[in-house]
Structure 1
Amino acid sequence: MSSKKALPISGTLTVMVIVVVLVPSALLDPTAEFEAAFLKKCVEFPEDKNTCKATLAIFEEAYVGKKKTAVTEDSYNKLFDKTPFKHPCGETMLYSGIDRVKTTDVVHRFTKKTGSYFTLEDTLLGHVLDGLIWCGKEGSKETFTEHCTDTMPNPYISFWIMASVKVAQYACGHVTVMLDGEREQPYYDKSVFATHEVPNLQSPEVKNLVVILVVGQKDDTKCNKESLKNLSNILKGKKIGYACKEVTLAHIEECIKEGKGVCW
């Protein structure tokens, strides 16, 4: 905020001095701050910008005025019904069990640069809510951004679980998943991918799942890991085909640099 003070000089000349008062971020209204961030990211996304305020209102219905543990995955059903995915379902890319610094960043840089695959964060809701934290409080109309994930369930976790379920249900054709081949269990049976995405891949809509196993050095052996055999068997039971390809991180980085949509 600012205030103006007039200072007389020599009795005739007046100089306007603007005094700027900086408001500590801790004193800002968290509801207004959250809504501004939501709308800014929504408007930046290349879809219908005229629906952003309506999308925010539907989103807030899921958690505002409710205690954290009362907000479950189903609380977001209306939001996903009103905000359907629009990317080609056959270009869905899942990812899991990946080192946040090393590979998750690579997944998103790859999809953004090449435009040939779409992760959850490349969809409208995923893009808008990535990096944000939110929750409500029973009897309050506010949105809070602190101490939101210290209980289970909570609005944040419930949203991302439902988003994972919905994107898996939406997928079709040849679905791709990027896994970290340097892990002992690239397919971890307690991950969101294992517990919420794989069970919701729909056959016959999904023909097969292609695992892109990110490795440091290609040796054609990491695709034989026991956890991946388990994944193959699960998919077989769902009548969904399975394939595994080892791709070095260096090769993916080269594809990003050159903007190659076909990388493997």
Structure 2
Amino acid sequence: MLLLCPAQLRAQLGTTPNIKHIVVGRCYNYITLVNPDLRYDCEDIWRQFEDAVVCQSSCNVTVEHYHQMFYAMPQTWPCNTFLFWSKTRTLMHSYTAAVRHFWTLEDTLVGYMFNDLIWCGQEGDSGFDFSSCPEWSACRNHPVYSLWRQASQNFAEMACGNVTVLLNGSIANAFNRKSMFGSVELDGLNPHRVDYVNIKVVTNLEGPFIESCNQGSIVDLIQILQSRGFRWTCTDNDQTLMILQCIQNPEQSACQTCASSLLHRRSLTFN
């Protein structure tokens, strides 16, 4: 039983204005420019989405309500390209831009269409509620949470080969069982399809340095992987990730150390 205090029931902004134009437009952009090999009916996908949300109370949209929409947009990805993340969104985007063979949930059609949008319906009403929607934490069957839960489940179940997990070592509970990765995606990974789970723990350049492969919740994640029969690796402060952070903050002292180390390695290579 989920008990909610009044503070948790406070409303946030309503459904994103012009949501239909945004969602359908993103769909056409995706199948035309991002992945032109795909053939989807964007208008039908919108209708399935609308049917799942409207006429429902804002806390009564389950993952089952979205099943027809997901059936209308099946998608698969090649092995060795799956990247999962938690509390590392900004760096994740930089990483996937630099290492282009990685794909995240946001790169799938459903992720591309609904990223950063808000929506909810009104019970007994045939439209969206544009005045206010509850926060995700207000209820388990929140319409936004339910869609992302199903999308995350599908993405994890597709994963195969070597998968990568990007976690933030500058916060406590870098691996959080209540996060989408910890509560949905991790459980959706199949040890018979996944060869290795490669964990990359990255900290802010100047700290704090709270968790690592040998400390904190990352150890719990490794134990879960081992208990389920996964093979795994774990890396602290991956060099590519450090360089990407230094591009954003070149004045940090850690960047000078990193640059000196790279120059030293280069000199050894050419000597």
> So what's the TM-score if we normalise by structure 2?
0.73
Aligned mate of 1:38, from 10, 19, 23:
23
Tell me the residue number matched to 1:118. Answer: 103
The C-alpha deviation readout for 1:158-212, integer Å capped at 9, x for no partner, is: 1111211111111111111100011232212222211111111112011221111
Give aligned-pair identity as a percent: 28
Is the strand fraction higher in 1 or 2?
Answer: 1
Task: State the shift of 1:144 in Å.
Answer: 2.7
Tell me the CA shift for residue 119 of structure 1: 0.8
Q: Mark the runs of 5 or more structure 2 residues left unpaired by the alignment.
A: 1-14, 249-271
Task: Report what 2:251 is aligned to.
Answer: none
* Greater Cα radius of gyration, structure 1 or 2: 1
> Could you tell me which residue of structure 2 aligns to residue 80 of structure 1?
70
Contact between 2:55 and 2:122, CA under 8 Å: does it hold in 1?
Answer: yes
1:31 to 1:49, Cα distance in 2 relative to 1, 3 A: farther
Distance 1:54 1:178 in 2: 35
Q: What CA RMSD, in Å, does the superposition of the two structures yield over aligned residues?
A: 2.5
Q: Which of 82, 88, 95 is residue 92 of structure 1 equivalent to?
A: 82
1:147 to 132, 145, 149: 132
The answer on 1:56 being equivalent to 2:41 is: no
Aligned-partner Cα distance in 2 for 1:63–1:137: 8
Corresponding residue of 1:21: none
Partner of 1:135: 120
Structure 1 residues 50 and 172: CA distance shift in structure 2, 3 A: closer
Distance (Å, rounded) in 1 between the aligned partners of 2:21 and 2:76: 24
Aligned match for 1:67, one of 32, 57, 60: 57
Q: Within the alignment, does 1:162 sit opposite 2:150 as a pair?
A: yes
**Moved segments of 4+, more than 3 Å:** 47-50, 216-219, 252-256
**Pair 1:250 & 2:242 matched:** yes
Is the alpha carbon distance of 1:49 and 1:134 closer, same or farther for their aligned partners in structure 2, counting shifts above 3 Å? farther
Deviation at 1:254, TM superposition (A): 6.8
The offset of 1:216, in angstroms, is 3.6
Q: 2:168 aligns with which of 180, 183, 203?
A: 180
- Cα displacement string for residues 141-162 of structure 1 (whole angstroms, at most 9, x for unaligned residues): 2123442224412101111112
Q: In 1, are the aligned partners of 2:77 and 2:158 still within 8 Å (CA)?
A: no
Q: Which stretch shifts more, 210-219 or 162-171?
A: 210-219
Q: Which amino acid counterpart does residue 182 of structure 2 have in structure 1?
A: A
Stretch moving more, 121-130 or 60-69: 60-69
Count of aligned positions: 221
Structure 1-normalised TM-score? 0.75
- Name the residue aligned to 1:208: 196
Tell me the distance in 2 between the aligned counterparts of 1:77 and 1:213. 34
Q: What is the one-letter code of the residue matched to 1:202?
A: N
In structure 2, the residue corresponding to 1:62 is in which secondary structure? helix
